[in-house]
Chains A and B, each alone.
Chain A
Amino acid sequence: MSPFAVPGQGVFATEADAYAAIAKAQAKPKKKGKKADTDTPETEPETTTDAEVKP
């Protein structure tokens, strides 16, 4: 019997098993991406340089 490979999924004994594995993988919920429009403006700490310090 010749095995069937699915890249990233492994090797299966039958073609039907290989396609079942693909269907299962594609049915998995995708990972959530970054939430949109929730970025908070970054606040940079103010720094002073020596040059700005008045004697």
Chain B
Amino acid sequence: MTVALGPYLELALEEAPNCEGADNTVSTYRTFPPAEDITDDENMTVLEEKNLVRGFLAPMPHLGAAMFEPKWKIGKVHPRPSHLGFMLAWMLGSWTSTPGDGDAVMDPDDVAVPIGAYKHVFEFRFALEPQTTQARACTGNGEHRLATGIALSKLGFAWENGALVVEPDGLALLTQPVSAPDPAVAPVIDLAHPFRRGDLTIDWLAGSAYTRAFDFAFNAPIEQIWSPVHSSLSPTDIWYKNGELPFISGTIDKATVEDADWQALAQGNQFAATIKIVHREPIGETDYVPTFWCVMPGCELTKNAKQAIKAERRRETKYDWESRYDHVTGKLATVTLVNETPAYAVYGG
């Protein structure tokens, strides 16, 4: 029996954001991440003139679309190593990819990246415009939806059923049905396993209490702009939000209340922290497994919520944390992923 092609999501980076009528190059590297659902909301406002004095005592008909403020949300994505790199490139917007040579190209643990593996180093982009993506979603009954100029304001990392899930949330410039004929898109499904919760480790503040749970997110607030450059009911530009800065944040649950944590918060002490997630399937014929590092040299605890004192064995507590600028290294954070994907943005060719 031949199995029918089911719903899928296809993502490709854009060389520059595509608003209505724009034709900027889209990467020929396409990826099909496993996602739980896709919310493709035009967010349309209709043109209402109900209460005008026009000689009738009745609500006047609305006049159709006034404007669109497209929102785009992909429910939880269960990324494989190839997808994780794509999501990081999309979210952070600035990266370099280096092929491993088994010698001089080193990972953050000072291990040589072997031939056949690729090291991707990501940082927050410093520009007006964030990295945008084109997304094509297909429903089970063959309806294709296309969204362009999608930028992410947040990429959350959490755990579900023992596996890593990422939650991308963003805004789009344009979302619309794809007109017939249907595009000849053939999904390529990465059969690698997801990252497992058990393979997360963190290097954290010395003397910190025992960690129960940990999550984190990349944040870069964005906004849609309606510039009168051409006639369109949809936004013309997507920019980083003025007055907001990119940051990495998260929460950490502690089993007990310890002095080291409280002192770090109360005294504003920065500490170096590293999040590391390793995969279990080696790259090619090597022993090297795909690995993610988020190195934050100037982490700070920003908020604390203690449990009430109760007739219990322990008093648990939870901290909010953020990566802040580190004066010594001059960095906010460096994110590295080693996997077997050579490049995420291939324009032309």
Binding site for A on B (CB under 8 A): 2-3, 5, 80-82, 184, 186-193, 281-285, 340-341
Q: A8-B5, A15-B82 are in contact. Are A22 and B281 (CB under 8 A)?
A: no
- Number of A-B pairs, beta carbon distance below 8 Å: 49
Which A1-55 residues have a C-beta within 8 angstroms of B?
1-9, 11, 14-15, 18-19, 22, 25-26
Q: A1-B340, A15-B82, A15-B341 are in contact. Are A6 and B282 (CB under 8 A)?
A: no
Chain A residues within an 8 Å CB radius of B193: 2
Do B80 and A19 touch across chains, with their CB atoms under 8 A apart? no
Interface residue from B184, B188, B281, B284 paired with A18 (Cβ < 8 Å): B188
Binding site for B on A (CB under 8 A): 1-9, 11, 14-15, 18-19, 22, 25-26
Do A22 and B189 touch across chains, with their CB atoms under 8 A apart? no
Report the Cα distance A46→B186, complex, angstroms. Answer: 52
Report the Cα distance A22→B80, complex, angstroms. Answer: 21
Q: A7-B5, A8-B2 are in contact. Are A1 and B282 (CB under 8 A)?
A: yes
Interface residue from A1, A7, A14, A19 paired with B189 (Cβ < 8 Å): A7
Q: A7-B5, A8-B2, A8-B5 are in contact. Are A15 and B190 (CB under 8 A)?
A: yes
| Shortest distance from the beta carbon of B136 to any chain A beta carbon, whole Å | 15
Do A3 and B191 touch across chains, with their CB atoms under 8 A apart? yes
Report the Cα distance A14→B192, complex, angstroms. Answer: 11
Chain B residues within an 8 Å CB radius of A6: 186-189
Do A4 and B340 touch across chains, with their CB atoms under 8 A apart? no
Report the Cα distance A14→B81, complex, angstroms. Answer: 13
19 additional contacts (CB under 8 A) given A2-B192, A6-B189, A19-B188: A1-B281, A1-B282, A1-B284, A2-B81, A4-B188, A4-B189, A4-B190, A4-B191, A5-B189, A5-B191, A7-B3, A8-B2, A8-B186, A9-B186, A15-B82, A15-B188, A15-B341, A25-B186, A26-B186
The chain A residue with its CB closest to the CB of B116 is A1
29 contacts between A and B (CB under 8 A): A1-B281, A1-B283, A1-B284, A1-B285, A1-B340, A2-B81, A2-B82, A2-B190, A2-B191, A2-B281, A5-B191, A6-B186, A6-B187, A6-B189, A7-B5, A7-B187, A7-B189, A8-B2, A8-B186, A11-B191, A15-B82, A15-B188, A15-B190, A15-B341, A19-B188, A22-B188, A25-B186, A26-B184, A26-B186
